[in-house]
Structure 1
Amino acid sequence: MLKTVTHTDIISQSLSLAEMILQSEQYKQYEAAKSALRRNVDAQEMIWEFNKRKDDFEEVQRFGKYHPDYSRVSKEMREFKRKLDLYEPIALFKKSEKELEELLNEVSMIVAHAVSKSIKVPTGNPYFDSMSCSGGCSTGGGCGCK
């Protein structure tokens, strides 16, 4: 006898999957890092300063290398971005965010391929993206697609 999956079953299983993700170590680490980042006054000031500098950078980018402050603003932006990326609370948040994203990408691939192997799931990860390729990638099959 074939069992028909009803809408209620799908919703129930989806909620169960969502609950498992919320109970995962990756999600707990993400929430802890996000909370720590929000409480860190220095990090918040750095983020505010970065956003201000980003606005200045975007203004200079409109004119490119022809803007008189292009070199200075570009250099300052790169230096500040590096400082921001190396600041421990921000680095921990980014690391936990990346790990949660990887978990969600894996779950997306599993769910999509349970429905059909030809479903493309853009993950931003070349390994997973090549697995979901179903042709038309213009590499002549170099990615492994058929």
Structure 2
Amino acid sequence: MIATLEYADILDRSEQLGQMILDSDVMEEYNNSQRALNEDNEAQQLIKAFIDIKGHYEDVQRFGRYHPDYSDIMKKVRSAKREMDMNDKVATFKIAERNLQRVLDEISQYVALSVSEQVKSPIEGAALSDSGCGCGSGGSCGCGT
């Protein structure tokens, strides 16, 4: 019975923490930047262009440097990525996304350390690294978000 009450209390506090995050300025900034990004036609065209060229890149990547279009596709991927990243709405969204991820990492680390030093928690930026690859290829393309 005691364990059940403790679990219920933990769940209640978890829901409160989740609601606090949802009500935070960081989350509001994230939602606003996501909405602005979704409503911006130019940004959406750049994202679509990048996704399209990324599909070609993945086909070429299977053969690596031996594919006849390797150099051309690599240049196009970098160019499309650069154009997309230079868009104000995309850049603003990425900053908001990193800020939200940082807050979530800090909370996870705080909760883990409050339990025990041995409990593993996300290291800041591990899930969404500043130097990670945003194209979904696992970093193998070298586009360096």
TM-score class, shorter-chain normalisation, is 0.7 to 0.9
Give the alignment's Cα RMSD to 1 decimal: 1.6
1:10 equivalent to 2:10? Answer yes
TM-score by length of 1: 0.79
Which sections of structure 1, spanning at least 5 residues, go unmatched?
127-146
For residues 109-124 of structure 1, the aligned pairs below 5 Å read 109-123=109-123
* Structure index of larger Rg: 1
1:78 corresponds in structure 2 to 78
TM-score by length of 2: 0.80
Is the Cα contact below 8 Å between 2:26 and 2:100 reproduced in 1? yes
Identity of aligned residues (%): 39
Which sections of structure 2, spanning at least 5 residues, go unmatched?
127-145
Q: Deviations over 1:101-143 (max 9, x none)?
A: 00000000011111111111133537xxxxxxxxxxxxxxxxx
Distance in 1 between residues matched to 2:103 and 2:122, nearest whole Å: 14
The runs of at least 4 aligned residues of structure 1 exceeding 2 Å deviation read 122-126
Secondary structure at 2:123's aligned position in 1?
coil
Q: Which has the higher contact order (CA 8 A, sep 6+)?
A: 2
What's the CA shift for 1:12? 1.1
Going from structure 1 to structure 2, the CA distance change for 1:125 and 1:41 (only over 3 Å counts) comes to closer
Is the Cα contact below 8 Å between 2:60 and 2:67 reproduced in 1? yes
1:101 equivalent to 2:104? Answer no
Is the Cα contact below 8 Å between 2:46 and 2:83 reproduced in 1? no
Count of paired positions: 123
Distance in 2 between residues matched to 1:98 and 1:60, nearest whole Å: 30
Distance in 2 between residues matched to 1:39 and 1:123, nearest whole Å: 33
